[in-house]
Amino acid sequence: MIAIIDYGMGNLRSVEKGFLKVGVDVTVTNKPDVVKKADAVVLPGVGAFKDCMRELTDLHLIDAVVKAVKDGKPYLGICLGFQVLFSESEEFGKCGGLDVLRGKVVRFNFGDQKLSTLNSQLSTLKVPHMGWNEIKIQKDNPLFKGIPDKSYFYFVHSFYVVPEDNAIIAATTDYGIEFTSSVWKDNIFAVQFHPEKSQAVGLRVLKNFGEIVRKGL
């Protein structure tokens, strides 16, 4: 059983429908006991880092999520569910994360600096980073099985992660700077983009995660 964690933030139903469309059964829950019994955990979400941590705390879900990861259960973090894996975020002042992975979450800060965009035209890049962008796969990753390098996925975010350990970086994306758009470490898979909004390639990511859970790591 794959548990999609409902902490009151994000488009959970879109993620649920994406999994169901590729034949992967999931359960949406905000119950710690259900998360603890699950075979795998998916943490999606959009919004503020601090709000996410507060809601996870109030629902007594933090221990359940961290225990699932430490027990080796497959974990898929999407967008905010990717960022909260790390030690801290600078959003609205410093806020501690789950600290499962060492690193921090920082804001895109282009100001008025002119930078080359992906279509090679000079313009001021906007924050949030919103829309389709390509990923550069940095290492073989079962989550990206069958997905070509430089495939396009849908992004919506103002902050990005800076891991302390570059070895966990699975993919990067260019938006004025080259930032980490996916990580993979053991049973931890996480992406900054939204697979549930990324059409065929996004559905392939969800299907691949289902296969990872079914076959075991």
Q: Give the chain's count of helices (H) and strands (E).
A: 6, 16
Q: What is the DSSP string of 48-59?
A: -HHHHHHHHHHT
Whether the CB-CB separation of 183 and 82 falls below 8 Å is answered with yes
Q: How far apart are CA 84 and CA 71, in angstroms?
A: 18
**Residue 178 CA neighbour count, 13 Å, CB half:** 9
Pairing of strands 101-107, 86-89: parallel
Tokens read off for 84: 């909260």
- Annotated catalytic, 95? no
Pairing of strands 40-43, 75-78: parallel
**Residue 83 CA neighbour count, 13 Å, CB half:** 30
3-class DSSP assignment, residue 46: coil
Q: Which of 16, 52, 157, 194 is catalytic?
A: 194
Q: Which of 52, 55, 79, 95 is catalytic?
A: 79
Q: How far apart are CA 21 and CA 122, in angstroms?
A: 40
- Annotated catalytic, 79? yes
* Catalytic positions: 79, 194, 196
